[in-house]
Structure 1
Amino acid sequence: MTSRHQPPLRCAIIGCGQVAQEYLTTLQHAADLTVVACADIDLSAAKSFAERHGIPEVGAPGDILATTNIDVAVILTPPATHVDLAHDALDAGAHVYVEKPLGLTAAESERLLRAASDKGLLVGAAPDTVLAPSARAAHHALATGAVGTPVAADAALLAPGPESWHPTPQPFYASGAGPLGDMGPYYLAMLTYLLGPIEYVEASATSTRSERTIRTGPHAGDIFRTDTPTHVVAFLRSRSQALITVTTSFDIAATARPHLEIYGTDGSLVLPDPNFHDGSVRYRRRGEQTWQELPQDDAVASAGRGLGVLDLVDSIRNDASECPSGHRAHHVVEVIEAIEFARTSGHPAELRLLREERCAGLR
């Protein structure tokens, strides 16, 4: 909601890589937000980004957060830096939006949310594809019983791996990354948005190839080793008792399987790739012979990465006590942590028990 009586919130982009351009494409059209600063540990990258987009203030992340009068910090840096930079921004009095993942562990993401609450500040986080028209259409369909009560779902990220298109794919295969850490948050965020929190997890994983070959760019032909499972299968149960299968893989040559399907007592929904903000949602009710497309509203003028930042701005303007995306992102970190526990231990994971154990350690 745009305020006609307050100046736009001042925003700093921290991290000037490829995704920063995608965010800026959305943010530069916002009436209630203006990007006044950008930062990167590679100062030349920050300066180049600032020059291309007319951003007046530029510097290293610590300097921008410490010396710039900003209202919102958008953190687009590598995952291991997210939490520390977010705390720095909170200490400077700024609200925070963080690219996925919110934290590398549930304990550190929970500390971040607590710190923000103690300071009266908000934390928002990616993925923000749950705010896209297709996701809202699916959510409305489920809420109004278009396919009955949801009883099951199937989600699948099946890909040959980023070495086929990315010139430096090694970070995608680092410990804690892989298909689950890198792409899993998009699928888990959408599933929890549509079906509610996850309570129970079972999981197994494998790696079909310990060595990968870069296929494009200046290092094409180079071989590197993987440090994380490349095919992960998880069985989840939501609080509403929906049974969910999630498969994330960098080992699949080709597939015709839908990215995400939800099965209700009276029909089924097929959703588009949750990594993106567009696409149709189809449904078919029991007894019908053809699929139909759900109508979508066009209220979102610019649906792309950065939509979650605008949602955070709305929460700030409306004096909200929290931003839902931050808490959803924290729960996604919890679920990924539970999947990792289940696959490495060989035992099911109950999130309630893991949460109680973690909270005891935080006291």
Structure 2
Amino acid sequence: MKIAIVGTGFVADYYMTTLANHPSLRLAGVFDRSAARLDQFAAFHKVRKYESLAAVTADPDVKIVVNLTTPESHYEVSRAALDAGKHVYCEKPLAMDLGHASELVALADAKGLALATAPANALSDAHGLVAAALAQGRIGTPRLVYAEMEDGPVFRDKWATWRSRSGAPWPGLHEFEIGCTLEHAGYALSWLVSLFGAVDTLTAFSAVTFPDKGPGTQDVVMAPDFSVGCLSFRSGLVARLTSGLAAPKDRSLTILGDKGSITVRDLWDNRSAVFVEETAAPRKLATRVVNRLEAKLGRFIPWKPTPGQRLAYSSGTRSDAMPNFPSQIDFCRGIAAQAKAIEAGEHPYFSGNRALHITELALALNNAGSLPQPYKVLSNF
């Protein structure tokens, strides 16, 4: 299936890296509103350039438009592609407000098109390993989840020097304007929604905690750089999700059940280490040693081994190409899954109402200060 990429910024190189993992996809060409950036990207990757968005949507060979533009352009670009009869795969969020996101989903449904959303990390090998462990009843009924999306104090790093493979600068100022919640919460929300279903209510708090993020940022209107939300699922499970740009880097997920726990070390790693601790099983030696040492010393030891036994991956599911740390996600896996579903006449999993649900949750977390709490989630699937 032929696809076209609109938006050749920093993240587009992640998609180009992982496109090689999916021979079922063919890149027809790329477009960016910046002629200089478009030339740089096309020359580096040796791909065709479109002269305009209209040229992309007018190409009869293109079946899926991959919308990698900045978040505030997502609605306009996706709308144009859907109006032209194209399926759309859109980076998160679908739109900057729920009304526009709902409009896009309704338009796609009316036209019989698939509108799917990133991120693709909930299609990862690690997610499959966790889903299998839950299905096997390894930890009984899941009751409580702790999800972390802490990116570390990047504003104190030399972010202005960061470049993608093809030379795109990391859009630091824009990231601070959009906020870490809209940029990153989806990586956890896609896992949570796919494993545990729809969210009923959400109680959240968000704030700008570090208004001065260094030289060149003083005049920027900052979005929240910290958010925390407690999500109550229709299934009865409760989850806490934090997103931030100041605390030490942590992208872990911990699921606590009646009979044990599952720990995912890094949601940004396609093959993250995954541990299962069953309460009826003996604790591993390292854990017992640390616990005894604490009792002997009479004080808390901050470092402890991850609880449980590490699960093994099958040898045949490793993807060939991944971006470098920390974004070791198969970004094109979501597009490949969408293409496969379209060919089968099915709805891609992360499309339609599921995509809208994830978008609404991210918006509710980011905009918690202007919403009544608890927030009643409007979307469902």
TM-score, structure 2 length as denominator? 0.81
State the number of aligned residues. Answer: 335
The one-letter code sitting in structure 2 at the alignment partner of 1:289 is R
* 3-state SS of paired residue (1:325): coil
Tell me how far 1:182 sits from its aligned partner: 1.5
Deviations 1:215-238 (A, max 9, x none): xxxx6xx64545222221111111
The one-letter code sitting in structure 1 at the alignment partner of 2:283 is Q
Tell me how far 1:258 sits from its aligned partner: 6.4
Counterpart CA distance in 2 for 1:54 and 1:165 is: 30
CA 1:265–1:258 in 2, change beyond 3 Å: closer, same or farther?
A: farther
Within a 5 Å distance, the mapping from 1:300-315 to structure 2 comes to 301-302=319-320, 304-315=330-341
Counterpart residue number, 2:348: 323
Q: Which runs of 4+ in 1 moved over 4 A?
A: 222-226
Is the contact made by 1:127 and 1:329 (CA closer than 8 Å) also made in structure 2? Answer: no
Tell me how far 1:335 sits from its aligned partner: 1.2
Is the contact made by 2:364 and 2:371 (CA closer than 8 Å) also made in structure 1? Answer: no
Counterpart CA distance in 1 for 2:211 and 2:368 is: 22
Counterpart residue number, 2:279: 286
Counterpart residue number, 2:241: 246
Counterpart CA distance in 2 for 1:223 and 1:49 is: 31
Is the contact made by 1:130 and 1:189 (CA closer than 8 Å) also made in structure 2? Answer: yes
Counterpart residue number, 2:47: 55
Counterpart residue number, 1:24: 16
Is the contact made by 1:339 and 1:349 (CA closer than 8 Å) also made in structure 2? Answer: no
Counterpart residue number, 2:294: none
CA 1:316–1:345 in 2, change beyond 3 Å: closer, same or farther?
A: closer
TM-score, structure 1 length as denominator? 0.85
Counterpart residue number, 1:359: none
Identity, in percent, stands at: 24
Counterpart CA distance in 2 for 1:166 and 1:80 is: 22
Deviations 1:117-158 (A, max 9, x none): 222221221010011100111011112211110000001223
Deviations 1:269-304 (A, max 9, x none): 111322342311111010431221123243353461
1:299 matched to 2:317? The reply is yes
Deviations 1:68-126 (A, max 9, x none): 63111111110111122112112222211111112212222222122112222212210
Tell me how far 1:62 sits from its aligned partner: 3.1
CA 1:259–1:30 in 2, change beyond 3 Å: closer, same or farther?
A: closer
CA 1:178–1:152 in 2, change beyond 3 Å: closer, same or farther?
A: same
Is the contact made by 1:283 and 1:294 (CA closer than 8 Å) also made in structure 2? Answer: yes
Tell me how far 1:27 sits from its aligned partner: 1.7
The one-letter code sitting in structure 2 at the alignment partner of 1:307 is R
Counterpart CA distance in 2 for 1:134 and 1:259 is: 12
Within a 5 Å distance, the mapping from 1:101-250 to structure 2 comes to 101-163=93-155, 164-167=157-160, 168-174=171-177, 177-214=178-215, 223-250=218-245
Query: 244, 256, 260: which is aligned to 1:267?
Result: 260
